[in-house]
Structure 1
């Protein structure tokens, strides 16, 4: 699956490049763009594609509910997001506590990212099997979300004592699990095409959950008009981008 490989390499490489530079403002803007892409991919394309299939509507809605709850539990288990501990946060710990915690966080992030990327590969494969244009916008949504997330993870790995090159290579190795997931998903779902609508609904639940519970609250912290206008414009740009890619569908 070339698209899965490209999605992984692009997000990891962009994270490395941005963390080398001072382009934090661009990273913040990526969050707004991600919201537009993820919500429009889910609500305008993946879900309609699933509900237009022969699958039972009530079962699809149950899958959507189950997906939202599953992502909530995954977040609780610190697989999708990781709490970052910093020195000087007002908590009293013994000397070296933070370095030890950072080291553990680095390996936790690699394991979590590997699982996440493997799942993303399956989702991209399902979307491509349903519709090539849907596959493209699904990959686009994943890349848009992964870049800011990978930057955060990259910084944690550096804080955990990884060299820049080592952090990049480990992240790249984790992204290859996305390729494995894509290949496995493609050949498995091709034989069990009846599962595709359910995988699309599950993917949509993940996009919606991440956009609404993770990305939007980040944007709400910047409540000034000067910050709000670019946010709204970038959300609109993300939606238009998805509509442009799928304009013939």
Structure 2
């Protein structure tokens, strides 16, 4: 029996997409340096909210989890190169990223905030527009490849943008005074404020939700290769179930002391 080219191609694609189920393993790319989302120790063990979501997803799909630690700005290229099956790394769903990969449904969302020295002239602001106006002359630190970097580029064109490979390096420059403000999701910066080196800093009490600007994305999703539609369908259903039964909300309460789960629409 002979197969036509299109038929053979469809069969090969189907086999590739079902390889995870056949092997019983899901390989997950994550940053490992973005507490409390994702932390990796020297042995490569991953903990945090992303790890909990990954483990919940694997259990739901009845597969074994395998985490691969990768710098955040290298996650999408590594996924496209088939180094792992999915990305679970607090990654916001954005239009630019959707050009490169597919995403699951959004399963979580957390406000974005600026941290500044308590002595800063913008520390007491309470409204977003005055805050952005005053920040537009400042030096602002963000992590490389994040929605926060895109937001600053778009909304604060006159600011000086400094990018960092990890939050730790960004926070070192914040403490040393090399940046005037740091911008990230509130949970990641809360971790910094709880440390001794964060005692002289505070949040600017303005929470910037993703709906404020499209550059901040459409919530947090699982990154999936464009050619793996079968896996996307399975992941979408599993995540919706995990949000509906409270599992993801429970995990977020553990790590963030708040429910950041996002119901499926």
TM over 0.5: no
Q: Of the two structures, which has the highest relative contact order with CA contacts closer than 8 Å and spacing of 6 or more?
A: 1
* Structure showing the higher helix proportion among its residues: 1
Q: Which has the larger radius of gyration?
A: 2
TM-score, normalising length from structure 2?
0.25
TM-score by length of 1: 0.26
